[in-house]
Structure 1
Amino acid sequence: MSIYDLPDAEVRVELGEPVPFAGKKRRELLIAAALGAPFGTRDPVDLALLSAASRKEDLRHYEQLGFTPLKPQLPRSIARIRRVDTGEEWLLARGELETILYLCHSDQATRYRAELQAEMKMLHGFRALGVAQGGTGPDGSESWSFLGYIPLRASRKKGRRSEEPGEFRHVPVWDWQLRSMHWLAVLLIILMAGTGLLMGSGRVVAGLAGDSLYISYLRLTHFVAAWLFLCTAIIRVAGLFLASNKFQRWDALFPVRARDLRNLLQVAKNYLFCRFDRGPHYIGHNPLQQVAYTAIYGVGMAALVTGFALYALYAPDHWLFHYLIWIGNLVGVQYLRLAHLLIMWVFLAFIPIHVYLSIRADTVEREGAISSIISGGRWCRKGTAFEDG
């Protein structure tokens, strides 16, 4: 694979290994793809092809007699080429792989093989530039032969660090109360999961073996953490209606707008690398995050309800817990414990997924999604159209 950083262009072009067909060699395919570029082109892809081909052969031996550019309804171009020393002339076509295969009337086996290989390359962000060679018969009819395709991948160059501050603007997103509640909730979830696993498994922490109050300490820690977790939930729910920052209100947490519902599938495809263009931009939560965080809030409420319902078995006369005794009577104590345990595993599964998606968003978008939960703000590119901006 060759990488070309073109001085006057804002993109970096990567050329994969040429994939020849019809018994052609990679060198011949690369030269044909370069000769099919229009004369005087400034297109970064064409310049990369010309640069790579010029290392294989002196392109001054060829002359372009004519060029038909591609059209939106017909994504291929055709160039008429003549070799200067022999006077031999032929046609070269370049364009989308499917269009070139159709032009050549390729058989089913060739079409299947080429499209399958191109799809595998596409998983890594490469697009296939199909190349065909043709000639004109005495009656004016054209005959084409499929030469193969060139995998191409273009990406934007990273700007110099000295230029970056001028290209971004800082937007306050999360206030200090929400950030504090976030990190406190993380600590409490880990603490409740750890103490819950120890109570359920019967394992003993090193140094506490033989302590008759060991389980009591675990239960006390678990219950205190649960009450604090309930307090964070109450504060967060209040913030949905009282927060001065629009990115923290309830309508930013639920995909209630038709626009967000339309963008939900597109954002999901971007997260799963099913599409490689940039998805819709959000300063706050995008629709997929809105659905995920709303769901995890629901899971948190279920954890509190099932946990307090279990506690009601030990304090049935408590002013609050006696309202939850019916849950244990309805489903049974063992099923209630099982539900509480499964909810804990949902939380533990959510944490690494949440961390991964946050790192992915920060790496791909480069807008400070992770640091925002620490600093409270995000660096947004100037000129970017945000759906919630």
Structure 2
Amino acid sequence: MREELVKRIYIFSPSLRIWHWINAVCIVILFLTGLYIGNPFFIGSQGLEATYAYAHRLTMDFIRFIHFSAGYVLMVMLLFRLFLLFFNKGDRLIIPRVWKGDFWKGVGEMVLHYLFIKPWHRTYIRNPLARLAYFLLYLALIFMVITGFAMYGLSDPAGFWAKLFGWIVPMLGGEFLVHAWHHWFAWIIIFFVIIHVYLVIRYDVIEKEGEVSSMFSGMKTFKETPVDVEDVA
């Protein structure tokens, strides 16, 4: 590739990159501790006598503390993500243009490309399918925060979280169903993470645009001007 044909475009702000990695760590911690809370498999079906359990830091109390601490961080990060929308244009790439027909054409184009049916696609800063997927991910994370703190509030019915999100429990059909929805959405999010990691690496290998490194440097490299370049310019 001749150097003059390479376009390096600054896309992601330092704040967004930091947010991305903190969010990734929170999701992993929340998923693993959530699995333990649902089924404490680390210490087997019998468990440990209380004194030894505390010595090994394997108590449910400690795991719940880690889980809810990560939940607080995730909530703050979501609010911070909303705050970032008002500054760097590249940080607004999650907004899907669902009101435009060309957006849905781009979604179909990218689906066919990822399925190896369509070998070519237009060059994007952030392709329409990714924008739609990330937007839905944020909605799922918001749902997880709301349902998580709704369940947290059940331990203190007169507390802040019960007053703020207590209405979620009867709306979803009771405590059991809130737990069930929370569990199902956790798996949806972790499946997204797996597919996301695969597609980002695949995109980097095939397109060679620096998709992976962009979350460290903020820069992506293009052979031609992306059709949505005005979204970061």
By how many angstroms is 1:239 displaced? 1.5
Query: Structure 2 matches for 1:1-389, cutoff 5 A?
Result: 159=1, 163=2, 165-205=3-43, 209-210=48-49, 211=53, 214-240=59-85, 242-244=86-88, 246-249=89-92, 253-256=95-98, 257-276=100-119, 278-283=120-125, 285-330=126-171, 331-381=173-223, 384-389=224-229
Per the TM alignment, residue 364 of structure 1 is displaced from its structure 2 partner at its CA by 1.8
Give the conservation status (yes or no) of the 8 Å contact 1:358–1:370: yes
Please name the residue that 1:143 is paired with. Answer: none
Shift of the 198–313 alpha-carbon distance from structure 1 to 2, 3 Å rule, reads same
**Larger of the two Rg values belongs to structure:** 1
Q: Please tell me the root mean square deviation across aligned C-alpha atoms, in Å.
A: 1.9
Report the count of equivalent residues.
Answer: 219
Q: So what's the TM-score if we normalise by structure 2?
A: 0.87
Amino acid of the residue matched to residue 264 of structure 1?
V
Higher helix residue share: 2
More strand by share: 1
Please give the per-residue CA displacement for 1:280-312, whole angstroms capped at 9, x wherever unaligned.
1112x1100011001111110111111111111
Q: Which SS does the other structure have where 2:160 is aligned?
A: coil
Deviation at residue 228 of structure 1 after TM alignment? 0.3
Separation (CA, whole Å) in 2 of partners of 1:182 and 1:215: 28
Percent of aligned pairs sharing the same letter: 26
Structure 2: gaps of 5 or more residues: none
Q: Does the residue aligned with 1:255 lie in a helix, a strand or coil?
A: coil
User: Do the aligned partners of 1:315 and 1:322 also contact (CA within 8 Å) in 2?
Assistant: no
AA aligned opposite 1:203: F
Distance 1:376 1:323, change over 3 A: same
Question: What is the CA-CA distance between 1:166 and the residue it aligns to?
Answer: 3.5
User: Any unmatched runs of 5+ in structure 1?
Assistant: 1-158
Relative to structure 1, the CA distance from residue 202 to residue 320 in structure 2 (aligned partners, 3 Å threshold; closer, same or farther) is: closer
State the distance in 2 between where 1:297 and 1:179 align. Answer: 16
2-structure distance, mates of 1:297, 1:205 = 33
Q: Which residue of 2 is the match for residue 48 of structure 1?
A: none
Structure scoring higher RCO (CA < 8 A, sep ≥ 6) equals: 2
